[in-house]
Chain A
C-alpha cells in the first residue's frame, strides 16, 4: 500500500485531466466518508498489519514469479516470467482488493456489502470476504454474464451471497455497475460498495490500485532475487484495469521497465466490435469518472464485444488514461481469436489454464517477443485461472461437456 511513488490522484481525485467524482449528489457524502476513512487508515500500522496478515494467511501471498520455460523456448528470445495471481485463493487477483476493502467496511461499521461483477471473479472475491465476516452481501451481474459465467454464479451463491441478474441496457458489466450504484444511492447509510476495478468515482481508483499494488511490490523484490534486475516489460490485460494497475503502479518510477496493457480487441479494433476504449475511444464520463470511453457520435456509451466477460466494458480506469496520454504505458489490443489461441497454447505449453482475460496478455507475446533479445526478462501478469471459462471455450470449439 505504498502511495508515495507519485502524487496522483490530486485532492479532487484527478490523474491529470482524468478521474474525478461524477455522481449523484446523494453519494457525495458516502465518497467523502470513504476517503476520510481510507486516508486515516492507509498509514495506520495496525490496519496494514491486518491487511498483510490476511493476504498471507487467507489468500496465500506472496504469489510466485515463475519461469515459463517452454513458453520462453517457444519464442526463443527473452525469458518469460509469470506472476501467478491465478494461484491466489478464489483464483484471481481480485481478492487483493476485496481483502482491503472489507477491512475498510468493517472499520466504518457497515452491515451490508454490495458489488458488481463481470466474469464473476470479483463477485466471488467479494462474497468470500463478506462470508468471512458474516456480512450480508449482494452481487449485481449482467444477465448475459450470468449465462456465460454460470460456474461463478453458483460459487457466489454457495458463499451465501445473493446474485441479482441485471437485464437493463446491454446486460453486461456496465449495467451491473449501474444497478449497484442505484442500490448504493438507496441504501447509502448502511451499505459499503466494493468496486472491483480501478474505475468509478474518486477515491475508488486510488483505493483499488493501492490494494492491488501488492502485486507490483512483490515483483520488484522477486525480480531482483530471480534475475537481478528490473524487468524489461510487464504485460497485463486491461478491462477496467485493476490487475494491470496493481502490477504497473510500483514500476511507474522505473523507466527501464516497459508497461504494456492489452485490451480486448473483440472482432478486431478496426471493426468497431471490441472493448478497447484506450485504442479506439474518446474521453467521456461513465460511472463517476472521466476517462477514455467507447461512445457513438452523439455521446451515448457504445455496446462492447469481447469473448471475455471480465474485459467486456466500454470504459477504463482513469489512471490508465493518464498513463496512456503521458506515454509511460503502452496500450494495445488483441482479438478474440488471438486470445482463444493463446488460451490453448499456454494450457498446453505451461500446464496453466489462464482466464480468457489473461489469455489476451499472453496473446500479445506473439508480437512483443520479437522486440526483445535473449538477455531480456518479460513478466506476464497471470491475473486469473481459466476454470470459469471452460464452458465458453468448449462451446466455441463445438464441444459439449
Chain B
C-alpha cells in the first residue's frame, strides 16, 4: 500500500492529527536537506513535503521564493531530488514523501515520475493546475504515486465536490487568499469549507498556508485532519544555514506536535 495512504489511515485509526512539514530540496544543500528530513521525522513529523525548486514559483511568498532561488543556485533538479529521496529511503522506508512543485518541472521530467525508481516517492502535488485535474491529464502517470488536489477559500461549492472526489492521498485545503507564509487566517471560513470538503472526499483533509504558531496549528487541527507547516520551517532553515544549527526547528516541531495531539 502507498505509504501516504497507509500513514493517514493509521493516524485516523488512532484518532490523531497529521503533521506535515515542508522544506525545499537543496536549501541550503542536498546533504543538509537529508539531515533535516531525518530530524523532522525524529521530532514528530508524519509526512514530508519536498519543495521542487522552480524559477517562477507564483504561489510562494518571499520566504519560500528565496529558498527556491538558493536551491536553483545549487543546480538542484528533479533528477537530483529523486537521487536524494533514494538516499533518504536507506534509513527510513516508512515516512511518506510528497513532491510539491510546478507543472512545467513535472511534464518536462515526465519519465522520472513514471519510473519512480524503487518506489521512493509516494505523492505529487502540483500547485499550478486546476483542482479537478491531475498529472495524468497532462500525460504523466504512475499508478503508485497519488495526486493531491488543492481547494481554496474561493473554490465554489460545485467545484469543491468534483475536486474532493478527484484527490487521492489527501485534500490540501489552502487556508487563505494569498501566497505561502501570509497571515490572514479566517477560522470560521476554514471550518465551514473543510466541513463541505469532508462531505465529498474519501480521503482526509489537511490545512496549510499561513500556519505559524502552535496556537494556529491547534486551532486548525480542530477543524481538519492535520496541518501543513512550510514557511516557518524554511525561514528557520535559512537562519540556521550558516551555523548548521537547527535545534530551533526540533523544538518548534515538538511544540506543534504537542499542540495538535
Chain A residues in contact with chain B, CB under 8 A?
21-30, 32, 168-169, 174-175, 178, 181-182, 185-189, 284-288, 293, 295, 298-301
Contact = CB atoms under 8 A, between A and B. Distances in A.
Contacts of B163: 25
Contact of A29 (B54, B58, B156): B156
The winner among A21, A27, A181, A185 for most chain B CB atoms within 10 A is A185
A379 B182 CA distance: 50
A25 B78 contact: no
A168 B150 contact: no
A23 B61 CA distance: 15
B182 A186 contact: yes
Contacts of A288: 128
Contacts of B155: 25, 28-29
Interface residues of B, number: 42
A188 B105 CA distance: 26
B154 A186 contact: no
B130 A25 contact: yes
B11 interface: no
A66 to B, nearest CB: 40
Contact of A168 (B69, B129, B177): B69
Given A29-B154, A29-B155, A186-B179, A300 B127 contact: no
A28 B127 CA distance: 12
Given A25-B151, A186-B182, A299 B56 contact: no
Contact of B72 (A174, A175, A300): A300
Given A286-B104, A295-B108, A299-B104, A26 B177 contact: yes
Interface string B95-129: 00000001111011100000000000000000111
B256 to A, nearest CB: 25
B44 interface: no
Nearest to A284: B104
A188 B177 contact: yes
B109 A24 contact: no
Given A178-B58, A186-B182, A301 B156 contact: no
Contact of B127 (A21, A24, A188): A24
A185 B104 contact: no
A182 B179 contact: yes
A187 B178 CA distance: 7
17 contacts: A21-B130, A24-B58, A24-B152, A26-B153, A28-B152, A28-B154, A28-B155, A168-B62, A169-B56, A178-B57, A182-B59, A186-B179, A285-B104, A285-B128, A295-B108, A299-B78, A299-B109
A182 B186 CA distance: 19
Interface of B: 54-62, 65, 69, 72, 77-79, 102-105, 107-109, 127-131, 149-156, 159, 163, 174, 177-179, 182
Contacts of A181: 58
A181 B177 CA distance: 12
A228 to B, nearest CB: 48
Contacts, number: 109
Contacts of B60: 182
B47 to A, nearest CB: 20
Pick the 9 closest A-B CB pairs, nearest first.
A299-B108, A186-B178, A298-B77, A26-B152, A301-B55, A29-B154, A285-B104, A24-B59, A25-B150
A163 B153 CA distance: 29
| Chain B contact surface mostly | loop
A288 B59 CA distance: 12
B177 A186 contact: yes
The winner among A168, A295, A301 for most chain B CB atoms within 10 A is A168
Contacts of B58: 23-24, 178, 181-182, 185, 287
A285 B154 contact: no
A293 B58 CA distance: 17
A28 B159 CA distance: 10
Contacts of B69: 168-169
Contact of A22 (B72, B103, B179): B103
Nearest to A315: B56
A33 to B, nearest CB: 10
B74 to A, nearest CB: 12
B212 to A, nearest CB: 17
A200 to B, nearest CB: 11
Given A23-B128, A168-B62, A288-B128, 20 more contacts: A24-B150, A25-B131, A25-B151, A28-B131, A28-B155, A28-B159, A29-B155, A168-B65, A168-B69, A181-B58, A189-B154, A189-B177, A285-B107, A286-B104, A298-B77, A298-B79, A298-B109, A299-B78, A299-B105, A301-B104
B154 A30 contact: yes
B108 A22 contact: no
A301 B130 CA distance: 21
B174 A25 contact: yes
The winner among A25, A27, A181, A298 for most chain B CB atoms within 10 A is A25
Nearest to A24: B59
Contacts of B78: 298-299
Given A24-B127, A174-B56, A182 B61 contact: yes
Nearest to A299: B108
Nearest to B159: A28
Nearest to A175: B56
A300 B178 CA distance: 24
Contacts of A24: 58-59, 127-128, 150, 152, 174
